[in-house]
C-alpha cells in the first residue's frame, strides 16, 4: 500500500471518528420527549364508581385548563386511565398494568386507597408515586411508611373530630358506633374514640360490621336497647346502605344517624326515598367555589365527593413537573418542601404522613332528597 493510500485511509478513519462522536453528542443533547405519561387509577365501576368518575373528570378539567394556558414551563401530559373496579385484586391488576405495561412511575389515584389498599405495596416495590385524592392518609399507611404515597383527601383525624363535635353540638351525648371493619372506617372510629371525651360524648357501644353483612336487624335492636341518642356509622356499598337505612326506619326510626359525606351519592336514587329522616352528614367545604361552576360548565353536573381533591392533586403534580421534578423521589421531595394554593383547602402543605393539613367541615341534614347545611 502506498504512503498516500495510508494517509487517505487515516484521514477517513479520523473523519468517521469525528462524525460518530458528533452524532453521539447530538443524540445526548437531543431533548427528551416533551410528553410525560402518568397513570390515572380510578374506580369507574363498583361501589366507588361515583367517586372515581368525579376524580377522572376533575383531572381532565385540570389538564385542559393547564393546556389552555400554553405556559412553556409546564410539560405536556398524557393520562393513561385504568378502572380499579372498586376491588382489591382488580386494583392490583390495574396498577400493575400502568406500571409494567404503560411504564408510568407517577399516578393519580387509586380511588379509595384506604379501603382498597391492595396496590399500596406496589408503590414501594416499583418506587412508583401514588397520589390519591380520596383516601385518609393515616388509614393508608397504618404502621408502614409507604414514602411514595401521598393524598389530597382530608385528614382522618380532622374528619373524625368533626363527626364527634357536630353530634355533641346537636345534643347527642350517648352514642353507639357502627362502622364497617375496613381500614378507612376503623381509622374514623379510632378518631371518634380519641375526641369523644373532649366533647363529653359517651360511647355506649361499638359494633364492627363485616363487609359482607346485609342484615342489620340484630345490631340495630341491640343498640336500641341501650337507649342511645345517636348512632355514628359508616359502611360501603349501595345495597348495604339501603338495607341499613330501611331496617333502621322499621326498627329504630327515632334515633339520629351521623356519618360522613359518603352517603350523599344515594340522595337522588328513588329507592332511598323516605330513608333519610334524622340523618346527618359531616361534609367538607370547598374553599374556592368557582371550581364548582367550572366543573359544572364542563361536565353538566355538580362536582361531588373527591372531585376538588383530584383537581388539586393534578395541579400540585403539574406544579412539581413545571419546576423540574420528574422522578417519584424528586416529586415527593417537592411536595414535602412547598406550600400549595388549592381549591379545596386554600393555602396548605403536606404533613409528615403525606397528607394535607387543612380542611373545613360542615353538617348537612338530609331532607326530601336534598342535603342542606345546618346553621
DSSP state letters, 125-189: HTT-EEEESSS-HHHHHTT---TTEEE-SPPHHHHHHHHHHHHHHTT--EEEEEEESSHHHHHHH
- State residue 162's pLDDT score: 92
Q: pLDDT at position 248, please?
A: 96
pTM (two decimals) = 0.82
Q: Work out the end-to-end distance of the chain between its first and last CA atoms, rounded to an integer number of angstroms.
A: 101
Q: What is the pLDDT of residues 294-319, one digit of tens each?
A: 999 999 998 988 999 999 999 999 99
Query: Tell me: the pLDDT tens digits for 207-253?
Result: 999 999 999 999 999 999 999 999 999 998 889 999 999 999 999 99
Between CA 186 and CA 126 the distance in angstroms is 28
> CATH 3.40.50.2300 in the chain, residues?
35-154+287-358, 157-285+362-373
- Which band of pLDDT confidence, cut at 50, 70 and 90, is reported for residue 368? low
Spatial CA neighbour of 166 closest among 201, 203, 193, 206 = 201
Helix (H) or strand (E) holding 363: strand 361-367
Alpha-carbon gap, residue 179 to 187, rounded angstroms: 10
Within 13 A of 163's CA, how many CA atoms are on the CB side? 36
Pull the grid cell for residue 146: 409507604
Chain-centre distance of CA 170, in angstroms? Answer: 29
For 64-108, the pLDDT digits (tens) are 999 998 888 889 999 999 999 999 999 999 999 999 999 999 999
Fold assignment, 35-154+287-358: Rossmann fold (3.40.50)
Q: Among 21-35, 210-224, 281-295, 328-342, which is the least confidently predicted range?
A: 21-35
The pLDDT value given to residue 357? 87
Confidence check: pLDDT of 6 > 50: no
- Given a contact cutoff of 8 angstroms between Cβ atoms, the answer to whether 215 and 242 are in contact is no
Share of the chain above pLDDT 70, in %: 91
Q: What is the radius of gyration, based on Cα positions, of the chain?
A: 26
User: Considering all CA atoms of the chain, what is the largest pairwise distance in Å, rounded to the nearest integer?
Assistant: 112
Q: How many CA atoms lie within 13 A of 345 on its CB side?
A: 26
Burial of 266 (0-12, 13-18, 19+ CB in 10 A): middle
Higher pLDDT: 247 or 357? It is 247
283 grid coordinates: 361534609
- What is the number of other CB atoms lying within 10 angstroms of the CB of residue 135? 32
The H or E element spanning position 190 is helix 183-195
Strands 174-180 and 202-209: parallel
Q: Please, which pLDDT band fits residue 268 given cuts at 50, 70 and 90?
A: confident
How far, in Å, CA of 12 to CA of 29, rounded? 25
Q: Is the pLDDT of residue 32 over 70?
A: no
Does 289 score more than 60 pLDDT? Answer: yes
- Superfamily of domain 157-285+362-373 in CATH is Response regulator (3.40.50.2300)
Whether residue 26 is predicted with pLDDT greater than 70 in this model: the reply is: no
Each residue's pLDDT tens digit, 149-198: 999 998 888 889 999 999 999 999 999 999 999 889 999 999 999 999 99
The whole-angstrom separation of Cα 176 and Cα 257 is: 10
The owner of cell 405495596 is 121
Amino acid at each position: 500500500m502506498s504512503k498516500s493510500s495510508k494517509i487517505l485511509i487515516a484521514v477517513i478513519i479520523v473523519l468517521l471518528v469525528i462524525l460518530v462522536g458528533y452524532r453521539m453528542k447530538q443524540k445526548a443533547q437531543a431533548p427528551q420527549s416533551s410528553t410525560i405519561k402518568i397513570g390515572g387509577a380510578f374506580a369507574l365501576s363498583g361501589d366507588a364508581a361515583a367517586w372515581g368518575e368525579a376524580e377522572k373528570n376533575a383531572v381532565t378539567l385540570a389538564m385542559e385548563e393547564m393546556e389552555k394556558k400554553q405556559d412553556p414551563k409546564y410539560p405536556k401530559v398524557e393520562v393513561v386511565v385504568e378502572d380499579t373496579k372498586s376491588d382489591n385484586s382488580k386494583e392490583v391488576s390495574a396498577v400493575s398494568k400502568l406500571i409494567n405495561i404503560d411504564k408510568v412511575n407517577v399516578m393519580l389515584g387509586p380511588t379509595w386507597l384506604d379501603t382498597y389498599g391492595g396496590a399500596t405495596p406496589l408503590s414501594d416495590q416499583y418506587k412508583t408515586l401514588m397520589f390519591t385524592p380520596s383516601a385518609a392518609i393515616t388509614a393508608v399507611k397504618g404502621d408502614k411508611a409507604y414514602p411514595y404515597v401521598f393524598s389530597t383527601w382530608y385528614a382522618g383525624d380532622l374528619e373524625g373530630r368533626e363527626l364527634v363535635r357536630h353530634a355533641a353540638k346537636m345534643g347527642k351525648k350517648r352514642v353507639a358506633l357502627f362502622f364497617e371493619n375496613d381500614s378507612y372506617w376503623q381509622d374514623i372510629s379510632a378518631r371518634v374514640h380519641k375526641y369523644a371525651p373532649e366533647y363529653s360524648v359517651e360511647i355506649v357501644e361499638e359494633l364492627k360490621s363485616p363487609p359482607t353483612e346485609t342484615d342489620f336487624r340484630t345490631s340495630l335492636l341491640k343498640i336500641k336497647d341501650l337507649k342511645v341518642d345517636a348512632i355514628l356509622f359508616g359502611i360501603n356499598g349501595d345495597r348495604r346502605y339501603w338495607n341499613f337505612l330501611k331496617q333502621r326506619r322499621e326498627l329504630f326510626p327515632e334515633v339520629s344517624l351521623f356519618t360522613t359525606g359518603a352517603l350523599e351519592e344515594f340522595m337522588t336514587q328513588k329507592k332511598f326515598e323516605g330513608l333519610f329522616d334524622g340523618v346527618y352528614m359531616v361534609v367538607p367545604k370547598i374553599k374556592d367555589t368557582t371550581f364548582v361552576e367550572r366543573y359544572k360548565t364542563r361536565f353538566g353536573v355538580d362536582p361531588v365527593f373527591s372531585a376538588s381533591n383530584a383537581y388539586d392533586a393534578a395541579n400540585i403534580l403539574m406544579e412539581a413537573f413545571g419546576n423540574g421534578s420528574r422522578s417519584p423521589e424528586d416529586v415527593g421531595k417537592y411536595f414535602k418542601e412547598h406550600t400549595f394554593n388549592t381549591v379545596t383547602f386554600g393555602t396548605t402543605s403536606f404533613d409528615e404522613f403525606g397528607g394535607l393539613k387543612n380542611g373545613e367541615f360542615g353538617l348537612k341534614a338530609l331532607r326530601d332528597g336534598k342535603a342542606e347545611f345546618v346553621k
